[in-house]
Amino acid sequence: MAWAFGGAAFGGVAVGLLSLYGTAAQAQSIEELRDMPIAALSKLDVTSVTRSAASLADSPASIYVITHDDIVRSGTLTLPGILRLAPNLQVMRGGPNDTVVAARGLGGNDAAQNFSNKLLVLIDGRSVYSPLYSGVYWDMQDILPEDVDRIEVISGPGATLWGSNAVNGVINIITRDAGATQGLYGTGVVGNSTYDLGLRYGGHAGGNASYRLFVKRHENFESASNADDGNRRTQGGFRFDWNATPADALMVQGDGYYGSRSRGTASDESLHGYDLLARWRHGAASGATLQLQAYYDHTARKIEDDGGRFALDTFDVEGQHSFTLGRNHSIVWGGGARLGRYVIRDIPGLDFVPERRNLFVGNLFAQDSIALTPSITGTVGAKLEQRSYMDLTFLPSVRLSWKPDPGTLVWGAVSRAVRSPTPFDEDVVESIEGTVFLTALPSFRSEKLTAFELGTRLMLSPRASLSVSAFYNVYDDLRTVEPAPEGLLPLRWGNGIKGDSYGFDAWADIRLASWWRLKPGYSLLIQKFRFKPDSVPLLGVSQVGNDPKHRATLRSSMDIGPEVNVDFDLRYVSALPDPHVPGYVELGARLGWQFDERAELSVSGFNLLHRRHRELPASQATPLRRSVFVALKWTI
């Protein structure tokens, strides 16, 4: 019996042998972003690089911002679909229930039960990666696209500020302030593979307080096969923003959802969850800020007939303080604690011993950005983190940036990050017909990364910008499948692979005319892994990740007069090596007609070049088919 773990079939290695905050966002309308010149977009504030507001042009990291306008004009309805807009992300899909999202490789290999688990994902400061295996259940993450202010995508480690599992990147999804989503808004979508309905109402609660309420229903059945593998989801939530004083701001938000996913002839799998987050921010006259945040999150999944299930409750609290010291030092420091309680039981052939456990994380961090000269800034930071399965860990980083003129930034960085062990690494026991096939060991070590980065961000002209970041990553103790010392069975996890990867991410933003904009992007990834001398090469080195070497994208956005806009997304992905999946070229397009100042009708299509194409191995997922839908949006 398979179990959905990380968007992949979680069954047994035998199958293989035989995946911040919204505090600084000033909400902007679609029209404002559409008319904003490229030079002004470079000055947008981002928070993911330093955990405090800084302009994109000054941020010494490989960061791409998916703006609110990008999201609305893409026509996509799901978070994985939206994340395809980031040229520094690797997004591979295999139908509505199989999704891999990674940065700079190590996207996992389902045949070896190695999932995409080296990318930290946040929604308004709430971590949504699962501590059970370090990956993300993408079918449990949803949001009304029109409520997203921006998505900050960092490729490269962010462990110094964000902790373990921010190994190859950080995705920070930031929603809009409630004050920017006022009135009654509705959307309806119908197509050959999707139904989607959304309704939102925003209002004021006094002069300095705003709120919004929303509900969303989504159904997806886009697989090209005849298998019943669709999913259904209903979600509702709220957000409340209160500027109590000019210096104090309070935000409270919550969500609840339930849904199910079909698994062909097997029993359906149900899922549900709810969360509540509160954040208070105080700004002093000196420019210093103090921020406190706490959240509770509950997630659960269950296979309907045989009763296999898990449930996870997370309690998190953290605080941070940002201030300047003298003229040259900008310091941010803080810490937090997180407690997770889970139970996993009654899954045929799969046991966690023990079946329930408490998981604890505690951390302290500090980072100092030092103005060495008017044009050179050095950034030094470190995090101390203690968590279950892992000793006290030191996660440092050093960055140096040079800005010789307002349109040029050159930066370099050296960082350390780890993926910490999880219950899947240390507690799992798998069996086939009563025979133990694999057993995890408590001696499993953290997977380690030392990253070297060099990048530049250039304003080539008022109509063109360019960002390029090169990297050299050194990995050690990557997870492997190892035989028992006395023979073959039971298999066990090991830390038997090391090696390096290198390449670069590049993208540009070019305004060819006031009505036409192009965004090309390209990524190169070369991976060289090897087994350590004491490891047994039971599976190949591709067990750490089945990743494409080349990825290229081209996005075109055109405004045909004040009422019509046309967008195209062309992407190329080279072949996956092992298991082999051929490379492909695909196209998405959207035509929008704003027939009234408060209403828009659009037609969107995805995977338009082929009737069907495959992005993941046949053993893992089904092909994707061409999909087209019509959407109506209105505001009252």
> Is the pLDDT reported for residue 31 higher than 60?
no
Integer Cα distance of 409 and 404 in angstroms? 7
Q: Is 215 exposed, middle or buried (0-12, 13-18, 19+ CB in 10 A)?
A: middle
SS3 33: helix
pLDDT tens digits along 423-469:
999 999 999 888 899 999 888 999 999 999 999 999 999 999 999 99
Tell me if 468 sits within 8 A of 506, measured CB to CB: yes
Where is 499: in which H helix or E strand?
strand 492-513
Q: How confident is the model at residue 414 (pLDDT cuts 50, 70, 90)?
A: very high
- Pairing type for strands 194-204 and 209-220 reads antiparallel
The pLDDT of residue 347 is 86
CA angle 290, 293, 296 (to 5 degrees): 175
Residue 154's CATH number: 2.40.170.20
Alpha helices for 96-189 (secondary structure H) = 159-162
CA distances from 132 to 117, 313, 425, 480, 581 (A): 11, 11, 9, 18, 29
* Residue the block writes with tokens 């197509």: 191
What's this model's pTM, rounded to 2 decimal places?
A: 0.93
The one-letter amino acid at 212: R
Q: How confident is the model at residue 223 (pLDDT cuts 50, 70, 90)?
A: low
Q: What percent of the chain has pLDDT over 70?
A: 93
The pLDDT of residue 16 is 35
> Is the pLDDT reported for residue 19 higher than 50?
no
Domain count, the chain: 1
pLDDT tens digits along 509-519:
999 999 999 99
Q: How confident is the model at residue 110 (pLDDT cuts 50, 70, 90)?
A: confident
225-229, 546-550, 563-567: range with lowest mean pLDDT: 225-229
> Is the pLDDT reported for residue 265 higher than 80?
no
Query: Averaged over 182-195, what is the pLDDT?
Result: 94
Q: How confident is the model at residue 303 (pLDDT cuts 50, 70, 90)?
A: confident
The pLDDT of residue 338 is 97
The pLDDT of residue 231 is 87
Overall residue count recorded for the chain in this entry: 636
Query: Averaged over 528-544, what is the pLDDT?
Result: 92
2-16, 117-131, 613-627: range with lowest mean pLDDT: 2-16
Tell me if 227 sits within 8 A of 219, measured CB to CB: no
> Is the pLDDT reported for residue 30 higher than 60?
no
Give the residue from 26, 289, 21 showing the smallest Cα distance to 177.
Answer: 26
> Is the pLDDT reported for residue 81 higher than 50?
yes
Integer Cα distance of 447 and 151 in angstroms? 27
Integer Cα distance of 435 and 59 in angstroms? 54
Tell me if 42 sits within 8 A of 465, measured CB to CB: yes
Q: Which residue has the higher pLDDT, 261 or 237?
A: 237
Integer Cα distance of 595 and 176 in angstroms? 25
Q: How confident is the model at residue 184 (pLDDT cuts 50, 70, 90)?
A: very high
The pLDDT of residue 36 is 60
The pLDDT of residue 370 is 97
DSSP string, 320-348: EEEEEETTTEEEEEEEEEEEEEEEEE-BT
The pLDDT of residue 95 is 74
Please give the structure tokens belonging to residue 233: 């989801």
Tell me if 631 sits within 8 A of 188, measured CB to CB: yes
The pLDDT of residue 228 is 60
Q: Which residue has the higher pLDDT, 78 or 33?
A: 78
> Is the pLDDT reported for residue 586 higher than 60?
yes
Integer Cα distance of 9 and 62 in angstroms? 32
Integer Cα distance of 157 and 417 in angstroms? 6
Tell me the β-bridge partners of 605. 589, 628
Q: How confident is the model at residue 15 (pLDDT cuts 50, 70, 90)?
A: very low
Query: Given its phi and psi angles, is residue 162 left (phi above 0), alpha (psi -120 to 50 degrees) or beta?
Result: alpha
Query: Averaged over 29-46, what is the pLDDT?
Result: 64
Q: How many CB atoms lie within 10 A of CB 329?
A: 12
> Is the pLDDT reported for residue 1 higher than 50?
no
Average pLDDT, the chain: 90
Query: Cα 154 vs. chain centroid, distance in angstroms?
Result: 9
110-119, 281-290, 312-321: range with lowest mean pLDDT: 110-119
> Is the pLDDT reported for residue 501 higher than 60?
yes
> Is the pLDDT reported for residue 224 higher than 70?
no
Please give the structure tokens belonging to residue 366: 């500090």
Peptide bond connecting 423 to the previous residue in cis, omega within 30 degrees of 0: no
Query: Averaged over 544-549, what is the pLDDT?
Result: 95
Range of the structural domain that residue 492 is part of: 3-537+546-635
The pLDDT of residue 111 is 84
Peptide bond connecting 37 to the previous residue in cis, omega within 30 degrees of 0: no
Tell me if 240 sits within 8 A of 209, measured CB to CB: yes
The pLDDT of residue 6 is 38
b/e per residue 238-256 (b: at least 16 CB within 10 A)? bbbbbbeeeeebebbbbbe
Q: What percent of the chain has pLDDT over 90?
A: 78
